[in-house]
Structure 1
Amino acid sequence: MSEKDKRPFSIANAPRDDGKLELHIGAEAGNNYAAEVLERMRLHQTIDVDGGHGSAYLRENKIRPTILLAGGTGFSYTHAILQRRLAMPNKDPVFLYWGTRTLKDMYAYESLKALEKTHPNFRFHPVVDCPDDNWRGKKGWVHLAVLNDFVSLEPYQVYVAGRFEMAGVAREDFHNKGLLLENLYGDAYQFI
């Protein structure tokens, strides 16, 4: 926005030959932080980017069975990791658990269901916190869905994207379920 007003957003795509970046910006009503960025992009058609930063990137030299855990628009960088991971020849399983308040908030639901059909090593697990009466999928907190589905997390690498509170609880619960902390990644862990 300016030298004194830099706003962090996660890159939502794997590296591309054309150098374009995809951002997922949750600009719901009342979110001036995001709305101001979108307005600046509309007015100027370009925006300066300083990046990438953070520690939530795919460890390509250390591929293991992978769990991607996303809360809300935290999905953005798990989406980038998922794209890159599925493009690799490694066919170890990849699980994406994406938690949102409602199914309507899960803006890439249909494309992820389609992606699941074209990649036999990929499983998408949507988790809805406040489902309607017709929802038959996973409900509640997204990290608890992971805990319910796995006997042990020891053989996995896990990428966590979302609120700091969720990342903190997930770190403790996943470690108690066998996850080696050296195989847990997320930008939140630099701050909590």
Structure 2
Amino acid sequence: MSEFECKIKQLESLTPFVWRILLEPERPVSFKAGQYIRVVMGETDKRPFSIANGAHDSQFIELHVGASAHNPWAMQVIEKMQQGGKVLLDGPHGKAQLRDSEPKPTILMAGGTGFSYTWSILQTLLATPLREPVFLYWGTKTLEDMYALDVLQKLATQHPKLTVIPVLENPADDWQGRTGLVHQAVLEDFISLEPYQVYVAGRFEMAGVAREAFHQQGLLLDNLFGDAYEFI
């Protein structure tokens, strides 16, 4: 699909720096979990964001955008959405979509708003009973940045094969969970990654370090997916 127009149905702040955008296309948009769209800001200015909803929800497009005054590239998109009305999108794009024809134990790893990529994949996997274990690792700087943790923890109680591991870089003194870098938490938990498929979203630096470290821990690179790997 190329360009298509959407109504801006909802814009809400999830944290002081993360926005949830709900867009309604003129007709259902077929996409694969893990793909992304681009917001058309101008003829040669198209800005990519992961689709956050599951692939079965083709009636709308959900985006999670991290934006602040220090990030004008993303803040300009939020300002465009705040004007209301309609917006032009381009897509879907990406080759890091969910591979589920032969289910494997799965690790989803996200840094910050890279969670939107893993959230789309997780919702798609949970649309049918899980056949293999799924581990979702989400790393943020603080607990306040982890805007969907309550929802994830509730899902983990409903799906015995789902494990959610939040990891904080700068935790408060009363934090009882994991701390440090999110990819290090994965390395600590698995003696070998050889049986797994792994999906990664976040800063390119994190993705690059994770690729090398996971491969050394047995992960087959054919089973590693993430949009960053098209560029690094």
TM-score by length of 2: 0.80
1:108 has 2:148 as partner: yes
2:72 aligned residue: 32
Q: CA 1:143–1:90 in structure 2 vs 1: closer, same or farther (change >3 Å)?
A: same
How high is the sequence identity, in percent, across the aligned residues?
60
Structure 2 counterparts to residues 120-139 of structure 1, below 5 A: 120-139=160-179
Note the C-alpha offset of 1:19. 1.9
Distance 2:133 2:69 in 1: 38
Determine helix, strand or coil for the equivalent of 2:199.
strand
Segments ≥4 residues shifted beyond 6 Å: none
CA distance in 2 between partners of 1:137 and 1:78 (Å): 20
What letter is aligned with 2:42?
S
The answer to whether the Cα contact below 8 Å between 2:56 and 2:124 also exists between their aligned partners in 1 is no
Structure 2 equivalent of residue 177 of structure 1: 217
Aligned residue among 93, 96, 102 for 1:62: 102
**Higher mean C-alpha displacement, 29-38 vs 156-165:** 29-38
What SS class does the counterpart of residue 50 from structure 2 fall into?
coil
Gap regions ≥5 residues in structure 2: 1-40
Q: CA deviation at 1:28?
A: 3.0
Between 1:84-93 and 1:155-164, the stretch displaced more is 84-93
Segments of structure 1 that go 5 or more residues without pairing to the other structure are none
Contact 2:193 2:217 in 1 (8 A): yes
Of Structure 1 and Structure 2, the greater helix share is in 1
Q: What is the aligned partner in structure 2 of residue 84 from structure 1?
A: 124
Q: C-alpha separation between the residues in 2 aligned to 1:121 and 1:45?
A: 42
Higher strand share: 2
Between the aligned partners of 2:107 and 2:142, the Cα distance in structure 1 is 22
Normalized against structure 1, the TM-score is what?
0.95
Corresponding position: 1:48 with 2:85: no
Residue deviations 1:100-154, cap 9 Å, x none? 0111111111111111111111010000001110011110000000000011101
Number of equivalenced pairs:
192
Aligned with 2:203 (options 163, 167, 175): 163
- Could you say what the CA RMSD is over the residues aligned between the two structures, in angstroms? 1.2
Distance 2:188 2:85 in 1: 45
Q: Point out the more displaced range, 42-51 or 101-110.
A: 42-51
In 2, the alpha carbon distance for the partners of 1:133 and 1:111 equals 23
